[in-house]
Structure formats: structure tokens, C-alpha cells
Amino acid sequence: RKEVEQDPGPFNVPEGATVAFNCTYSNSASQSFFWYRQDCRKEPKLLMSVYSSGNEDGRFTAQLNRASQYISLLIRDSKLSDSATYLCVVKGPPNSNSGYALNFGKGTSLLVTP
Amino acid sequence: GAGVSQSPSNKVTEKGKDVELRCDPISGHTALYWYRQSLGQGLEFLIYFQGNSAPDKSGLPSDRFSAERTGGSVSTLTIQRTQQEDSAVYLCASSWGSYNEQFFGPGTRLTVL
């Protein structure tokens, strides 16, 4: 079983829609959580970190539920330019051998249509 | 400033040949990572370098894979006797310190025929 699981999609949504992605992780010792964005044939780029209190960056909201080992990303008022693959990423605690390597889910594909 | 660069961007090779992939990290970044992204597999960690410490090679899939980092900067990932299952995009990342944001290079797309 992969350590980070995501629904691969694809999610096809019209412009302006709200879309939510979910992710679960199996290592309860994981300490840091992120969402990355990867455009077709490009490298992954950090979209936002995820905190237990939940955090928002413009149209993007990330939530973490440590008890359920569940991470979510909500995109409001989606734009054509949001079309990409969204990768859920976790890291282990510092000073462990999993504390620096990023552990990626396989990604969720989003296509926003006019 | 300049980001992480990798070369070549594409490499096609025949099964059984050796290949070398190069990564130039962001200047001043002490940590360097190699990942592999295979179709349907997602990104997986291969190896990690931090300063002058011994590298963490725990993610390397076989002894045909090796990597070095010279002078704490440029890194080379070598795959010996390539196999078709080695076909993937090999991504390098660097960060300032081990626990800070990792910035990825554009990757090398390796195709083994």
C-alpha cells in the first residue's frame, strides 16, 4: 500500500466551479504536509503548506486532520489556468531518515473547461 | 536568480548502455535530492546529499544506480546497464538545509529502448 493515497481523477469542472481534492497518509509520524502543483511535462512546484489549523491562500484552502490522517485542498472559483496535476506530499519528523525526503501521492488531475 | 538545472533534458539509450544525468543545484543550497517519476508510479525518492555527510542511498532501486556530488555542488546520477523499466523522468531538487522548501529542476526524460 502506498504511503500517500489520492484519487487520481481526472476531475473535469467548468470555470468558476469549486473543486475539492482529498488525500490520506499512512505514517502517523508524518510531520509536514504540502500540496504541489505539476503542469504537463514540467517539474512539481510548491503550491502551499498544510497546517493543522487550516490555511488559505487566495482561492486555495488546505486542511489537515491528524486524527484521520487526511489532507484536503479546496479550489474556489476555478480558472482555466488551474488545470494541472495536484500532488499531495508528506514528510516525516526532522532528524528521522524520512524527515527530508518528500513522499508524494500519485497526484489528482484537474481539467477546468470554459 | 537561476533555478535548478539538469542535463540532458532528454536521453534515449539502448538497453544495456550506461547513462549519466547531471544536476546543478541552486547556488548556496546545501541539500540535494534525486527523485524518479515513472508513468503510473508517481514521484519516488532515490538519494539525498547534505553537505559533506554520507549520502542517504536508501531509495536507490538497485546497485546499478549510483550518484555522487562533487565539491558540494553539482551531482551526477549514473545508471549502469540500463533496463527498459528505468525509463522515467529523473528529477533533481535542492534546498537550503534539509528541512526547507525543495526546488525542483526540469528533469531528464530517460527512454531506454
pLDDT in tens, B89-109: 999 999 998 778 899 999 999
pLDDT in tens, B31-81: 999 999 998 788 999 999 998 888 888 899 999 999 999 887 999 999 999
Give the SS3 label for residue B107: coil
pLDDT of B67 reads 96
Which of A32, A101, A107 is the closest to B42 by Cβ? A107
Chain B CA closest to residue A86: B42
DSSP secondary structure letters along B59-104 = T--STTEEEEEGGGS-EEEEESS--GGG-EEEEEEEESSTTS--EE
Helix (H) or strand (E) holding B110: strand B108-112
pLDDT of B80 reads 98
Which of B43, B98, B107 is the closest to A104 by Cβ? B43
pLDDT of B89 reads 97
Enter the C-alpha cell of residue B10.
532528454
DSSP secondary structure letters along chain A = --SEEE----EEEETT--EEEEEEES-TT--EEEEEEE-TTS--EEEEEE-TT-EEETTEEEEEETTTTEEEEEE-S--GGG-EEEEEEEE--TTSTTSSS-EE---EEEEEE-
Which of A2, A101, A104 is the closest to B48 by Cβ? A101
Question: Could you read off the pLDDT tens digit of each residue along chain A, which spans 114 residues?
Answer: 678 999 888 999 999 999 999 999 998 888 899 999 999 999 999 999 998 888 999 999 999 999 999 999 999 999 999 999 999 999 977 666 667 889 999 999 999 999
Chain B CA closest to residue A35: B101
